[in-house]
Structures are given as C-alpha cells and as structure tokens.
A and B are shown apart, each in its own frame.
Chain A
Amino acid sequence: MRGARARRDDDVAQLLGGRRAAAVLGLAEAALTVAVALLLAHAIALGVAGVPDPGAVAPTLAALASVILARAATGAAAELAGARAGRRAVARLRAATVDAALASAGSGDTRPGALAATAVHGADAVGRYAGRYRPARIVGTVGPLLALGAVAVVDPLSAGLLAVALPIGIVFLALVGLRAQAATDERHAGLLLLQGHLLDVLRGLPVLRAHGRARFQVDQVRAAGEAYRSGTVAVLREAFLSSFVLELVAMLGTALVAVACGLRLAQGAMDFGPAIAALVLAPEVFGPLRRLGAEYHAAADAEPVLRELATAAARPATVPTGRGVQELRDPGVHDLALRAVTCATDDRARPALERVDLRIGAGRTTALVGPSGSGKTTLLRLLAGLRSPDAGSVRCGGRPIDAGDLAAWRDGIAWVPQRPTLLPGTLRDNLQPPASRSDRSLTGALRTAGLGPLLAALPAGLDTPMGEGGLPLSAGELRRLAVARALLREPRLVLVDEPTANLDPDAAASVVAALDRLVTGRTAVIASHDPAPLRLAHDVVVLEAGRVVQQRPARPAPPAPVPADPPVHVPTLPATATAAPAIRTAWTAGPDRSALRGSAGRAVVALVPDPDPKDPR
C-alpha cells in the first residue's frame, strides 16, 4: 500500500516538475509559521510583564505583522505555482490523448464523452493535488520537526512531552490516509452508481411514463439514495475516527504542555517567556499533520484522473504513416489490389481478414457485400491507409501503398463512414472545405448531395450552427452531408461504409441517389449488407468470415464508367421524394431491377473489369 502510494507520488512529481521550488516554498512556510509563534509569544510576554516599553512593542508588532503577511504570500505562491503546474500537466496529457486518439483512430472502442470530461474537469483535482496536497505534504514533513526544534530550544521538557505525542499523531495520520482512501473509493463508486441510476431513469422517463411505471420509480430513486447514505455514513464513522484521534492527540499534547508549563511557573521553576513560547508553538507541531489529513482526499481524487489520462495518452499508434520511399500511383487511374492480406483483431479469435486476394478496378464502383463482422470495414480501412495489414500488401498500380507517404495517399481519398460525426461548429465547418473553396462550390456540393432544399430553408445558410444544440439532422441528412464533404475533396478514391444501415427506405433512396453522383466516374468501394446501394456497383465482392467467397460483375450492371470530370455541378434531381416510391416498389416487387435505372440500354458494357493498360504487371 505504502509502496504503491510512494510510487504514485513519484510518478506525479515527475509529471508536475517544479519539485525544488515547491520544497523551498514549503520550507519557508514552515519557518515563517515558527517565527509567527515566537513573535506572538514575545509580544504577549511584553504585556504580561506589566510595564510594556513602547519602544519594544512597536518593532515586535511590526515584525509580527510582516511575518504574517509573508506567510500568507508564501502559501499563496506555493498554491498558485503548484496548481498551475498541475493544470498544465493535465493539459499536456490532454494533448497527448488527442495525439494518441488520432494515431490509433478506428482501433478499439472508447467513451469519448466521459474521457473528454475527465481530461478537462480533472484539472481541478490534479490542481488541488499539486497546489494544496503537495505543499501540505512538504510542510507536514518539515513543519512538525521545525516547531519541535524551536520548542526544544525554549523548553526541553515540553519538547520531550511533544516528542512522545508526535509519533502517535503520525500513526493516526497514516490511518487517516488508509481510511480516507477506502472511504473515498467506496463513496465514489457508490455515488457513480447513484448518479447512474438517476440518469438512467430520467433519460428513460418517456418509456416509464408511457407504461405508467414512473410513480413506482420515485420510491426506487429514494431507496437508492437512502441505501447510499447508510453505507457511506457507516464508512465515514470509521474514517473520521482516525482523524478524531489525531485531533485528540494534538489537543491533549497542547494541553499537556500548558499544564506542565503552568505548574512549573507556579512553583517559580520557569520564566514566563519560554512558557508562553512553548504553549504557542505546541499546536504548530501537530497543525501541519492535521492540515495534511484534511487535504488527503485531494490526492485520492487526482489519482484516478491521472491514471485514466495516462492510459489514454499511451494508446499504441495503429495508423501507419508509410515509408515514403516511393512515389504513389493515382488510384483514380490505376487498379487497386490486395495480395494475401491478413488482418488480426484484438477481440476475436479469428482474423478480421484472412489471406484475401482482390482486385479493385480503377474508375469502377465495387460493392463489398457480407454480413456484419465479415471484414468489410477492415478492408475499407486498409484501402484508406488507416491501418496496415499484418501480412500481405495493399497495392495501387502494382506499388505497395505503405512504401509511399500515406498522409499524401489519404489526401486523395474520401471516406463516408457509417456514422458520420458532426463537429461542433457551423455547416461550413462541417463540410471541412479544403482551403480556397468558394461558398458557391460548397452550396453546389450540398445540392449535388440532395441537401439543396435543406440549405434553402436555413436563414443563416452555411453559417447555421450544427452539433449538439444546433440544427438537428436526420440520419439520412447526416450521411448526405458526408457525401457533400466527400464531393468537395474531389477524391481519387471513394470509400463508403454501410451508407443505408438503419435508414427507412425513403431516406436510403435519397442517400443512394447522392452517392450515385459521388461515385460516377470515380474509383469507389461501397461496403453494405443492405441491398439498396448495390445498384451503383459494377463489381460485387462477397466477404464471409474474413474471406472473399465470391467476386463477380454486378447483374445487371449499371451504366459503364465514363471517365469524366468530378461531377460537382451535376444538377439535382427535381425531387428525391418522387423517386423514392419507385425504388421501394422495385425492391419489394421482385428481382427485376431494370426499372430502377430507367437506362438499361447503357448497361451492356463492362461486365468484366478492364485490365488496366497502365498497370505494369
């Protein structure tokens, strides 16, 4: 226990830095406290002597006043500098957490909201640790010894009495520490449960109300709070007991000194000066220990914050940067290929992809089909250069992409994720426009993605705030926004992950219509277990349990790829809504889907992928 605490304190000290400044300030505060006590005793002695000499009074009081001011200033300086260092340490860990999250993007599941809250509000706990607990610990080590030394000089007998009481006090301080830790841990866990319960029933209130079960929950909420109270108070009764004994030892130690000095004074065996000095100094022998005990919870609160952030900041990087030794080919004109690619996963026995060989034609749209968990998203991540295969290679025009600069590779792709994220900011911010894009091209992209009517209804236009509390978007609109984002990148390779999952047929149809305009004339890969987006595909790759089980041309194939300029300014369909019922009917009517396209005549070409003439193989 002790060892773990010492190790933690060392780690934190390293993180905070400024150890020497903290030690100097702590020592100064302890010394000034002793000086205050001695000057105070001296002033009292002047009065008790009965005939205060005005010449001696003024300088004593002036010195006392300045020492008191100096002590307040020292304490403030230690707390300011310490807390600042603590908050800066949290800020550094926060930045490192962001770096680690970006460098390991897509691997593992995190709770971003909770982590962000810790990384920001945790600064308070760490600031208290560095600004209050750490100085208190230094003063708690030095202060009692300094005060005891001063008592020894003025009155050795009192020092002897205190020297017996002090170790008892220290033992109980240690108990305060252990008990406080246990109490804090238990309280914290209980409180989280309690808050979680209240949060849960409040969030689910509509359901409870709908089923007429809300009244019943009132008693449940009360009972949970009551159970927490009785549990916590039982723990606190013990936890406060050790600080009670510490306080008792300190008080009795002081009283003992007062009585011992009083009796000797009465017998004429002692002068008043040393006696009052010993009396005023005696509480200062225990004071630092009591203050340290009171600050102990600061240490206990800071520890989980630092542990959580350090863990988040130390996440291993998984996003490759590439070796940068070779110029990369353009995926818009060169075929992509996977060669014997295997990718492991952390949490499943079987690899996400196992010895996958695959060719993806340039300028064509390839659909990745298969049940969830079959490896579709992993394959998209490989193509995006967001992760490296554990074996095999991903190539473009015959060259392994990780031989080039993967950051430059990613500049040429557009990623439309299953759950696009809205960043807090305006609609313009959320289009993440590459520099020097005019508002006209932004509105053009929004219209092409089928968001023209939405934009027209916004009085603030591109400056409309989005994200929490801002403009609410439906799931379909969000995905079409991601399509507009992708259009603006003028990508050489488009990667789309489950574009229609969890959408109703109307919304799915409008997303597919927007995607149609994005992928036409480009190299594109669309992963989907829903059949709706398949009508865009020239080729279909069926994945099952990490293996390619089938690779075939789409039947019937869509219009041949027309190598054309990126269709950013393609006019919008007159009304997405009118197209929707037709699509629904077509899907539910049967396998004949030619009606969907209304251009079956063009769908003759490109049943077989063209060999890429520029591919050196």
Chain B
Amino acid sequence: MSSALAAPVPAPDRRPGTVAAVRAALRLATAVERRRIAAAAALSALAGLAGTALLALSGYLIAHAAQQPPVLSLTVAIVCVRALSLVRALARYGERLVGHDAVLRTLARLRGSLFSALLPARAGRGRDASAVADAVVADVDGVQDAFLRSVAPLAAAVLVTVPAAVVAGLLLPAAAVVVLGTALAVGVLVPLLAQVAAARLGEARAAHRTAMVRDLAATLDAAEELVAHGAGDGRRALLAAEAAALGRAEDREHRATVLTGAAASALAGLGAVAMLAVALRAVEHGTLDPVLTGLLALLALGLGEVLAGVPAAGRELHATADAVARVGGLLRTAAPATDVVPADDAIVLRDVSIGRAGRTILTGLDLTIGRGERVALLGPSGAGKSTVGDLLVGFLEPEAHAGAATVGGADLREVDEIALRCLVLHVPQEPYLFDATLRANLRLAAPDADDDALRAALAAVGAGPWLAGLRDGLDSALGERGARCSGGERQRIGLARAVLAPQRTVVLDEPASHLPAADAVAALRAVLDAVPGRGALLVAHRVEEQALADRAVRLPA
C-alpha cells in the first residue's frame, strides 16, 4: 500500500521540455476533455488566423484598389474582410467560453479523482493531513493555469504559423523563411533563454515568499508575547531585512519576465521589418507583384501579435509543470484493493515494531484483545499509546521485518482498510469538525440516523444541555474546523459520533480528556454500551476512566 502522502511527491530534478510538459498536462484530462480543450485551442487558432488574414487581405485590398480595377473585382475582397472581422470576434468569444468550460469540467473531475486517490493512502493525522490538503488545493489551481494560459495559446501559435508560412512561401519563398525565422526567434529562442533564468529566479522568489509568509504569520500570531517581552523591535528589524531580500528577489524575477516580453514583442515587430525588407527587394528585382507588398507586411504584423504571447504561455507552462507532475503522480499512486478481510474483531499483536515518518517508535509490542474485550493502555507520555491506536485502524503500518499483527486473522500490512474500518472505529482526542451543520457532522457516523437518534446520542455523552442552548439546534453551523465549539464540546461531538457508529470495536484515544472526570466516565460508558459486546482499546489518564476496562496493559517508557 502506498505511503505517497507522508511526503508529497517531490518535483523531478530535471525540468521537462515544452512538449513533454504539454503532454503531461494533457494526460490529466480524459479523451472527451482533451477534445474540449482541443476545440478551445482550435477556436483560439481560428481567431488568430482570422485576425492575420484580415490584416493581410485588407492590405491587398487597398493595394489592388490603388490600381483602379473595376469595382466589382474588389467585392470579393471586401466581403472576405467583413466576414473575417465577424469570424475573429466570434472565435475569440467562443475560445474563451469553451476554454473556461473545458478547464472547469476537467478540474471538477480531477478534484474528485484526487480526493479518491488520497483515500487509501496512509496519511498522517492533524498537521500532516493539513499540509497535504493545502498542497493539493494549490496544485489543482496550478493545473487550471497550465490548461488555460499555456496549452491553448501554444497550440494556437503553432496552428497560425504553419498556414502563414505556406501562404507567404507561395507568394515569395524568402517570405516563408522570414515567417519561420520570426516564429523560431519569438516562439522558441526567447522562451528557451528566458526559461533558464525564470526557473532559477522564480524558485528564489518562491523561497523568499514562503519564509516571509511563515515569519509574518508567526509575528502576527505572537504579537502579544513579543510586546510583553519587548521583542517587537527585534522582530520588526528581522522582517524588514527579509522584506528587503524578498523585494530584491521579486525585482530580479519580474525584470526577467518583463524583458522577455519586451524582447518577444520587439522581435515580432522586427520580423515585420525583415518581411518588408525582403518584399521591397523582391519588388525591386521584379520577383514580387508590388500589390502583394502590403499583404506580406501586414501578414507578418498579424502573426507577430499571435507569437508575442508564446513566451508568457511557455513560462506559465513551466511554472505549473511541478504542480501538474505532483497531481499526475498522486493519481497514479492509487493503492490496489486487496481481498484480505478480517474474520472478526479479535486483535493479536506479537513482537510488533511501529515507526512514524521513518523513525521507530515502538518495538517488541505484544498485545492481545479478544472479541468484545476492553483493554486499557497505560504508560507515560510519549510511550506510544496513540501509535498503537493508529496501528489498529490502519493509519499506520507495522514495520515489515518482525512480528505479527492481525485483526480477525488478517495481517494489518495487507488488510483491506475499508473492511478493517468497518470493524474498528478510531475516536481521537481532537475530533475534526467539518464546516457544516451539527447534524451533518454527526450523521457522517450514521447516515441513516434520524434527529431523535442524534439528540439521544448527544444526551448520552452529556451534551444535552449544550444542544438545548443552541438557537438553531441540530442545524447550527459549527464554523471552519468547528471554530464555534470549545474543546470540551468538540470532544462530546466526537463521542456522540462514536455512540452512533456501528463498529464492533473502538479505539478510544483520550477522547474525553477535556471533560470533567464524572462526565468523561459517563460519556465513555455510553460509547461502550452503544453496541452490544463492543470491544475497546482505551487510552486515558484518569483512574476512573481506566476502570471502565476489563484489564490494563502498560507500555514501557
């Protein structure tokens, strides 16, 4: 089983080329979604082509008209010019709409798939889970930018350059060379040169920013202590020094970005100048109809507008490449399902070692919990009591080299975790509360429970008076991470979930530590009695709570 999330997938050392980066981004989309993105790119190309053709054709129209042909012969060109204006405007509108629709569709599916891919991973709890969550959300935004701001414009640039070169080549072979030369300079050379600088400078800026956010947040958070200890000025000086360094890093990175853009637009303009030089020379030598001078010059000008966006699109592509790689990596690490299913809830640990993040925490652990047996786990702080609990619900895996760890005869290293958690419920010290109603937060333990059952569960853990005092009752919103609840209220909600939940065995990891002793004992008893013959591993400090167990096991310090 995968442990990909313990450390987020690292970005590859070697940066992928543009084509590889585009391919990596497109691999995140399904075939249907790729077709939608392709449609957006095609519309973008159509808009670019129409704009370029419009300029070239009106140049031809004017020059041809100057020869004073019969007005009728101008009509075709006039109709084309008008049609192209309409096409360009419509294509631009369609591109933006189709592009946004396609990307948002893809993201909606990706979020679900990512979430689904994260389900079986043995992510840590608390802060670890939080950091992974933050990273995933930021990466999904990166994927959006990769599609919208880089893949589509890059595709459009290619789709406009090729026909422009063909048309120019048919009229004057040297003109095709100018078109391709401009495309090469603006679309390949400038982005390549810029990329070398941008990657390094971008990383430097990002590192400075991360440090600045961290130190700034800590300062704002600790303001009172800092003032109380007269440390405010020192902190201010530290932040000012960091801000100066960040400012320099930002300036350097932005300078590289702006100069790249300026170089691209200057080279695109110079492409038009080169085209004029070639065309005028050909006219001089009689190899080009003078009427076509305007067409070629304005063709180069129109193409330049499309090409000038390539460096920015390339930069965006590479800036998002890491996010794309991480998201792709997560989607590929989906753990294979196993058919190792526990037969019952008898737990046997023999000479087991457990580690967290590469560090061994417990060795030589022996613990047996029979069906329906209630065992208290004792030991000083840091002895690894919570670690044992995490092991039993599959949040941690036993180290491979020694011992045996089974639940209902199924090895904990191979067991199907969904099946395991249908048998064993983890009740944590700090239960996570979702930004939703009290009802929703309780019903995740028992989706079919009605309001009476929810009220009964709350009453059983001593939260009846609290519920009665809530204006909106079960409809009360609990706030972000349950911000509107005190520590004791959170624990009561966590315990009420355990009362509602059907699991035969519960791992109680100090779930009542913030409650007064008498309340804690009553609430824990309610949890234990909620399911007939419920077994338990009980981690608790208070003697009265420990007394709820049939026997006690002590972990060495």
Task: Kindly supply a per-residue 1/0 record for chain B positions 411-439, scoring 1 wherever the CB is within 8 Å of any chain A CB and 0 otherwise.
Answer: 00000011001100111100111110000
Indicate if B188 sits at the interface (CB-CB under 8 A). no
Indicate if B62 sits at the interface (CB-CB under 8 A). yes
Using known A-B contacts A244-B92, A421-B222, determine if residue A65 contacts B273 with beta carbons closer than 8 Å: yes
In the docked arrangement, what's the CA distance between A424 and B215, Å? 6
In the docked arrangement, what's the CA distance between A262 and B294, Å? 13
Indicate if A94 sits at the interface (CB-CB under 8 A). yes
- Residues of A183-227 whose CB lies within 8 A of B: 194-219, 221-222, 224-226
Most chain B CB within 10 A, of A46, A200, A207, A504, is at: A207
Task: Kindly supply a per-residue 1/0 record for chain A positions 252-267, scoring 1 wherever the CB is within 8 Å of any chain B CB and 0 otherwise.
Answer: 1011001101110111
A76 touching B259, Cβ below 8 Å: yes
Q: Which of B66-74, B189-197, B526-534 contacts A (4 or more CB under 8 A)?
A: B66-74
Return the contact of B239 from the options A95, A228, A413 (Cβ within 8 A): A95
B137 touching A202, Cβ below 8 Å: yes
In the docked arrangement, what's the CA distance between A553 and B431, Å? 40
A506 touching B381, Cβ below 8 Å: yes
CB distance from B497 to the nearest CB of A (A): 7
Indicate if B469 sits at the interface (CB-CB under 8 A). no
CB distance from A412 to the nearest CB of B (A): 10
A102 touching B232, Cβ below 8 Å: yes
B218 touching A421, Cβ below 8 Å: yes
Return the contact of B227 from the options A95, A112, A204, A386 (Cβ within 8 A): A386
A410 touching B214, Cβ below 8 Å: no
In the docked arrangement, what's the CA distance between A597 and B222, Å? 35
Which residue of the partner chain B has the closest CB to A416?
Answer: B225
Indicate if B152 sits at the interface (CB-CB under 8 A). no
Indicate if B261 sits at the interface (CB-CB under 8 A). yes
Indicate if B445 sits at the interface (CB-CB under 8 A). yes
Indicate if A569 sits at the interface (CB-CB under 8 A). no
Using known A-B contacts A209-B119, A211-B497, A225-B112, determine if residue A83 contacts B254 with beta carbons closer than 8 Å: yes
A214 touching B119, Cβ below 8 Å: yes
- Residues of A234-260 whose CB lies within 8 A of B: 236-237, 240-241, 243-244, 247-248, 251-252, 254-255, 258-259
CB distance from A102 to the nearest CB of B (A): 4
In the docked arrangement, what's the CA distance between A51 and B74, Å? 24
Using known A-B contacts A207-B432, A263-B65, determine if residue A255 contacts B254 with beta carbons closer than 8 Å: no
B418 touching A588, Cβ below 8 Å: no
Could you say which residues of chain A place their CB within 8 Å of the CB of B265?
A: 72, 75
Task: Kindly supply a per-residue 1/0 record for chain A positions 370-398, scoring 1 wherever the CB is within 8 Å of any chain B CB and 0 otherwise.
Answer: 00000000000000101000000000000
CB distance from A470 to the nearest CB of B (A): 11
Could you say which residues of chain B place their CB within 8 Å of the CB of A415?
A: 224-225, 228-229
Using known A-B contacts A52-B283, A244-B92, determine if residue A262 contacts B65 with beta carbons closer than 8 Å: yes
Which residue of the partner chain B has the closest CB to A472?
Answer: B127
A218 touching B115, Cβ below 8 Å: yes
- Residues of B164-217 whose CB lies within 8 A of A: 209, 211-217
Indicate if A23 sits at the interface (CB-CB under 8 A). no
Q: Which of B243-251, B318-326, B366-374 contacts A (4 or more CB under 8 A)?
A: B243-251
Task: Kindly supply a per-residue 1/0 record for chain A positions 155-177, scoring 1 wherever the CB is within 8 Å of any chain B CB and 0 otherwise.
Answer: 00000000000000000000000
A423 touching B381, Cβ below 8 Å: no
The number of A-B residue pairs with CB atoms under 8 Å apart is 418
Task: Kindly supply a per-residue 1/0 record for chain A positions 482-498, scoring 1 wherever the CB is within 8 Å of any chain B CB and 0 otherwise.
Answer: 00010001000001000
B381 touching A206, Cβ below 8 Å: no
B100 touching A95, Cβ below 8 Å: no
In the docked arrangement, what's the CA distance between A424 and B62, Å? 68
Return the contact of B501 from the options A75, A211, A243, A407 (Cβ within 8 A): A211
Task: Kindly supply a per-residue 1/0 record for chain B positions 529-557, scoring 1 wherever the CB is within 8 Å of any chain A CB and 0 otherwise.
Answer: 00000000000011110000000000001
CB distance from B219 to the nearest CB of A (A): 6
In the docked arrangement, what's the CA distance between A206 and B74, Å? 73
In the docked arrangement, what's the CA distance between A542 and B378, Å? 36
Could you say which residues of chain A place their CB within 8 Å of the CB of B17?
A: none
Could you say which residues of chain B place their CB within 8 Å of the CB of A236?
A: 96-97, 100
In the docked arrangement, what's the CA distance between A478 and B480, Å? 25
A102 touching B294, Cβ below 8 Å: no
A203 touching B254, Cβ below 8 Å: no
Q: Which of A14-22, A116-124, A146-154, A341-349 contacts B (4 or more CB under 8 A)?
A: A116-124
Task: Kindly supply a per-residue 1/0 record for chain B positions 264-305, scoring 1 wherever the CB is within 8 Å of any chain A CB and 0 otherwise.
Answer: 011001101100110110011000001101100110010000
CB distance from B246 to the nearest CB of A (A): 8
Return the contact of B221 from the options A54, A83, A258, A421 (Cβ within 8 A): A421
Indicate if A314 sits at the interface (CB-CB under 8 A). no
In the docked arrangement, what's the CA distance between A472 and B84, Å? 65
In the docked arrangement, what's the CA distance between A254 and B101, Å? 31
Task: Kindly supply a per-residue 1/0 record for chain A positions 91-126, scoring 1 wherever the CB is within 8 Å of any chain B CB and 0 otherwise.
Answer: 100110111011011100010110111011101000
A110 touching B258, Cβ below 8 Å: no
CB distance from B98 to the nearest CB of A (A): 10
Q: Which of A36-44, A358-366, A512-520, A599-607 contacts B (4 or more CB under 8 A)?
A: A36-44
A199 touching B225, Cβ below 8 Å: no
Return the contact of A225 from the options B68, B107, B250 (Cβ within 8 A): B107
Using known A-B contacts A221-B115, A265-B65, determine if residue A43 contacts B297 with beta carbons closer than 8 Å: yes
CB distance from A67 to the nearest CB of B (A): 9
Count, chain B residues at interface, CB 8 A: 147
Q: Secondary structure at chain B's binding surface: helix, strand, loop or mixed?
A: helix
Indicate if A340 sits at the interface (CB-CB under 8 A). no
Return the contact of A258 from the options B81, B211, B434 (Cβ within 8 A): B81
Could you say which residues of chain A place their CB within 8 Å of the CB of B222?
A: 421, 423
B105 touching A72, Cβ below 8 Å: no
B276 touching A43, Cβ below 8 Å: yes
Indicate if A229 sits at the interface (CB-CB under 8 A). yes
Indicate if B338 sits at the interface (CB-CB under 8 A). no
In the docked arrangement, what's the CA distance between A237 and B166, Å? 35
Using known A-B contacts A95-B239, A258-B61, determine if residue A251 contacts B266 with beta carbons closer than 8 Å: no
In the docked arrangement, what's the CA distance between A330 and B115, Å? 60
B273 touching A424, Cβ below 8 Å: no
Could you say which residues of chain B place their CB within 8 Å of the CB of A262?
A: 61-62, 64-65, 74, 77-78
Using known A-B contacts A209-B421, A217-B115, A233-B100, determine if residue A44 contacts B297 with beta carbons closer than 8 Å: yes
A47 touching B280, Cβ below 8 Å: yes
Could you say which residues of chain A place their CB within 8 Å of the CB of B444?
A: 207-208, 211, 213
Return the contact of B92 from the options A209, A247, A421 (Cβ within 8 A): A247
A48 touching B290, Cβ below 8 Å: yes
B111 touching A44, Cβ below 8 Å: no
A-B contact pairs, 7 of them (CB 8 A): A131-B254, A197-B435, A244-B93, A262-B65, A489-B229, A495-B228, A502-B514
Give me 13 other A-B pairs in contact (C-beta within 8 A), A115-B220, A495-B228 excluded.
A47-B293, A48-B293, A101-B223, A102-B226, A120-B209, A206-B395, A208-B444, A209-B421, A222-B112, A244-B89, A247-B93, A417-B225, A421-B218
Q: Which residues of B contact A (CB under 8 A)?
A: 54-55, 58-59, 61-66, 68-71, 74, 77-78, 81-82, 84-86, 88-90, 92-93, 96-97, 100-101, 104-105, 107-109, 111-112, 115-116, 118-119, 123, 125, 127, 129-130, 132-134, 136-137, 140-141, 209, 211-232, 235-236, 239-240, 243, 246-247, 250-251, 254-255, 258-259, 261-263, 265-266, 269-270, 272-273, 276-277, 279-280, 283-284, 290-291, 293-294, 297-298, 301, 380-382, 393, 395, 417-418, 421-422, 425-428, 431-435, 444-445, 447, 480-481, 487, 497, 501, 510, 513-514, 517, 541-544, 557
Q: Which residues of A contact B (CB under 8 A)?
A: 36, 40, 43-44, 46-52, 54, 57, 61, 64-65, 68-69, 71-73, 75-76, 79-80, 83-84, 87-88, 91, 94-95, 97-99, 101-102, 104-106, 110, 112-113, 115-117, 119-121, 123, 127, 131, 194-219, 221-222, 224-226, 228-229, 232-233, 236-237, 240-241, 243-244, 247-248, 251-252, 254-255, 258-259, 261-263, 265-268, 272, 275-276, 279-280, 283, 319, 384, 386, 407, 410-411, 413-415, 417, 420-424, 432, 467-468, 472, 474, 476, 485, 489, 495, 502, 504-507, 577, 584, 588
- 8 closest A-B pairs by beta carbon, nearest first, are A225-B108, A47-B293, A251-B85, A202-B133, A68-B269, A222-B112, A421-B222, A229-B104
